[in-house]
Amino acid sequence: AIKDALPYFLGAVDSDHLIKAGHLRSLRQELKRVQRDLAETEALRGDGSGRATALLHEASAIGMLHLLNEERSFGDSIALLQELLEKPMPSVPDPDLEEIAGAYELVLEEREELIRRLRRVEADLRTTRSLADERRGYADESAVQAGRLRSIDLLTDTGEVDCVCPLCLAKVPSLPDDNSLRQALRTLDMRLKHLAQDNPHLEGLTAQLEGEAASLREQLAQNRVSMEALQRSEQVVANYRDLVARVGHVKGRISLYLETVPETATGVDRLSDRGQRLRDEITELEAELSDDMMRERVESILSVISHKITAIGTRLELEHSSNPLRFDIRRLTVVADTPDGPVAMDKMGSGANWVGYHIAVHLALHQTFVAGARPVPRFLFVDQPSQVYFPADRDREGRLEVGRDGADVDEDRAAVLRTFELVRDTVASLDGRFQVIITEHADPDEKWYQEAVVERWRHGNALIPQAWIDAVSS
């Protein structure tokens, strides 16, 4: 953590102190874990017998063992639970049940196919019977007509005679003669003969369809018997699977319980001893790390840093800079000690103050790092510190001429220049041992500032050339 390492980087402690501080954190974390395990172990030893007995009764309820109503010690209960955990799962009642049950879907598909075939055969049979009934009706009607026409054979052929109405003695030319009636009789006889010839074929087709329907019904009956048998097998398999699931659940609870049970009766004592050793080691390290000289050294360095921050705040004309300022190492912030009490940096007003105090803290820290030859990189990167005074979208050319709404441009420009001059003077005072890199849209027309500019990224000139972007886009 930064708060733990900062005394080392400030030079208040050596590297061995930092290593010991990290070891102390690890020991404290381990002590918390041991204390948690010890509390759980003591709780298990207190109610372990009751939980073990409850698990044994649960196993007995599903047939994993036959439990006698007798008193048993905690150790015996643990041993019995261990035996149950190692006991194999229940075996399948019939090894072929899985295969038989798997055939249920096939039998069901066969039944659906038989039903479809029976419906087709019954439809064909209804059509055939309907046709036979129609032919039979036609034959009966034709036989009646033929019987009526055969009475013409009782008369002798008298040749052609005129037909006369017996009432008015007028000739009736439209009545059929004897030859026409005999021709009609021959036609009816021929049709009746054809009907008689087709009847055996139709009757054979009807008998065939009736046989197919009877066979399909028999197959459906056999299929129903198979389905009922498979359903019984499926129920047996379902019961077996349910038993396996319940046994697995109980075994899981037993396994979880046995993992938390102390391996030996000395589990609590072992954890207690480990906790005591950790506490002794922590106490010894705390005594080493709580050196008064170290605390005084940190306070002395922080006092110097706070003095630098106060001087910088006064130079930048920041709010509360008229009060003593100090760097709070515990909260990693700047605090102003006012007559009304301490004021932290996040309560010190505008964004301009926050930016100013951030720069002040960083410059004060780096001055300390350089003076003490501490192992900290000797550079600081700052991005657009003028942004709070002159937003880039308003002051496009960076001449510090268009500032915030309602603000005094001259005052804001003076504040920005004070910040840049502070950075310039700090870098110069450290004589090349410290560097500040600033990316900034502001471009004030000051000779010393213009001489400090290394790259000017404007009007198409940028850190990433436009040609690179165009090449990737295409």
Over the stretch 46-57, which tens digit does the pLDDT of each residue have?
555 677 778 888
Give the pLDDT of residue 243.
76
Amino acid 187 reads T
pLDDT tens sequence across 411-470: 888 889 999 999 999 999 999 999 999 998 888 888 999 999 999 887 778 888 888 888
Q: Quick one: pLDDT band at residue 264, thresholds 50, 70, 90?
A: very low
Whether the pLDDT of residue 265 is over 50: the answer is: no
Q: Which residue has the higher pLDDT, 8 or 301?
A: 301
pLDDT tens sequence across 349-402: 788 899 999 999 999 999 999 999 999 999 999 999 988 887 765 655 556 665
Whether the pLDDT of residue 473 is over 50: the answer is: yes
Q: Is 369 left (phi over 0), alpha (psi -120 to 50) or beta?
A: alpha
Q: What is the mean pLDDT of residues 81-106?
A: 67
Parallel, antiparallel, or unpaired for β 341-344 and 333-338?
Answer: antiparallel
- Domain range list for the chain: 14-92+258-289, 97-239, 293-372, 377-474
Q: Quick one: pLDDT band at residue 7, thresholds 50, 70, 90?
A: confident
Alpha helices in 317-408 (DSSP H): 351-371
Within 8 A by CB and 6+ apart from 209, the residues are: 121, 124, 125, 128
Q: Nearest-CA neighbor of 373 among 18, 77, 7, 11?
A: 11
Within 8 A by CB and 6+ apart from 172, the residues are: 163, 164, 165
DSSP per-residue letters across 136-200: HHHHHHHHHHHHHHGGGGGS----S---B-TTT--B-TTS--HHHHHHHHHHHHHHHHHHHHHHH
pTM (two decimals): 0.46
Could you give the angle at which helices 409-429 and 292-316 cross, rounded to 10 degrees? 140
